[in-house]
Structure formats: structure tokens, C-alpha cells
Amino acid sequence: MRMGRKLAAEDLQLILLALLEEQPRHGYELIKQLSERSSGFYNPSSGMVYPALAYLEDVGHAVVSVEGTKKRYSLTEEGRIHLDRHREQADRILGDLERVGARMAQVRRVFEGEDRLDTIAPGTPEDLMLARYALKQALHEVGACDAGEAMRIAAILRRATAEILGK
């Protein structure tokens, strides 16, 4: 998968086949589905999706049925075979889009002030506020660390979470 917000044509074709395997869809529905699955991170243009769908139809991987002024695309047996041969790659691309999209959505929430670590309900004891602030600062200070240190910190945080929740 190419980094950034654009996919290589072959990658886009694969994930379109994967979505068509779930159910037949109109081009607009495919665009919307990709945007939803990536939490708005990947919004392919119609200028990317429709040529990819036309190609899939040309090579026999998709078939089109016309419904009024709309075209509904369905996966063919040849398309299913091609997708099965490249299943791991298709799953990886969709997984990457979902994962990056979820991270970007979290970043957006933080910047919008909806998901801040230091947002504390009124009436919270000062000691708890100071402890949360100290944790936030400590995590900020370690920043990028090596894998061993990251595992150590993650274990500490899991133990603390379990203790807080009484598990």
C-alpha cells in the first residue's frame, strides 16, 4: 500500500473486489464504505473509483447491472478467484486503512478537545488531577523509545489499569 491518502491502482482494485464480495454495490456506496471504514481518512474520488470499476468489469472481475441511472457492481467468479489469490494483501490494505483511520480520528478528537487526557470532571480531587497530569507528562517525556522500554511501560500501564478497575 502506498503511504498517504492515495492507493496504487492495483490496491484500490483489490479492496473494491473485497467490498463487492460482501455485497453488490453502486460506485457511490463503495466510496462511502471506504470513507466509513477508514473513519474519514481515505476518501477516494469518483475519478479514482469509477475507472477502477470499469477496469474490473473489462477484465471480468465484476459485472454491472443497470438500475435506472445507476450501475450496481457485483463480483464475478473470476473476480472471486483473483481476490482469493490476493486475499492476504486485500485484508492487509483494508486493515491498514481502518487502523490509520482510527488513529487519525483519535488525533482529530484530541485536537478538537473531545478526548483529552487532562479533561477532568468538576469536583475531582486535586490529588487525582495532579497524578493524571504527572502521568501525562511522564508519557510525553519518554516519547519515542525502544521496543523494550515500550513493553515495560505498556506492562506498567496495564497493571495500573487493572488495579484501578479492581481486576
Which tens digit of pLDDT belongs to each residue from 25-62?
A: 999 999 999 999 988 888 899 999 999 999 999 999 99
Residue 132 near residue 118, CB atoms below 8 Å = yes
pTM: 0.65
Residues 19, 100: one domain? Answer: yes
From 64-68, 117-121, 142-146, 148-152, the region with the lowest mean pLDDT: 117-121
- In the chain, how many domains are there? 2
CA–CA distance, 94 with 81 (Å, rounded to integer)? 18
**CB burial of residue 29 (10 Å; 0-12, 13-18, 19+):** middle
Residues 90, 20: one domain? Answer: yes
In a domain, 114, yes or no: no
* Among 60, 71, 87, 84, CA closest to 27: 71
CATH classification of the domain holding 18: 1.10.10.10
Which tens digit of pLDDT belongs to each residue from 64-75?
A: 999 899 999 999
Average pLDDT of the residues of the chain: 85
Range of the domain at 69: 9-109
Residue 8 near residue 1, CB atoms below 8 Å = yes
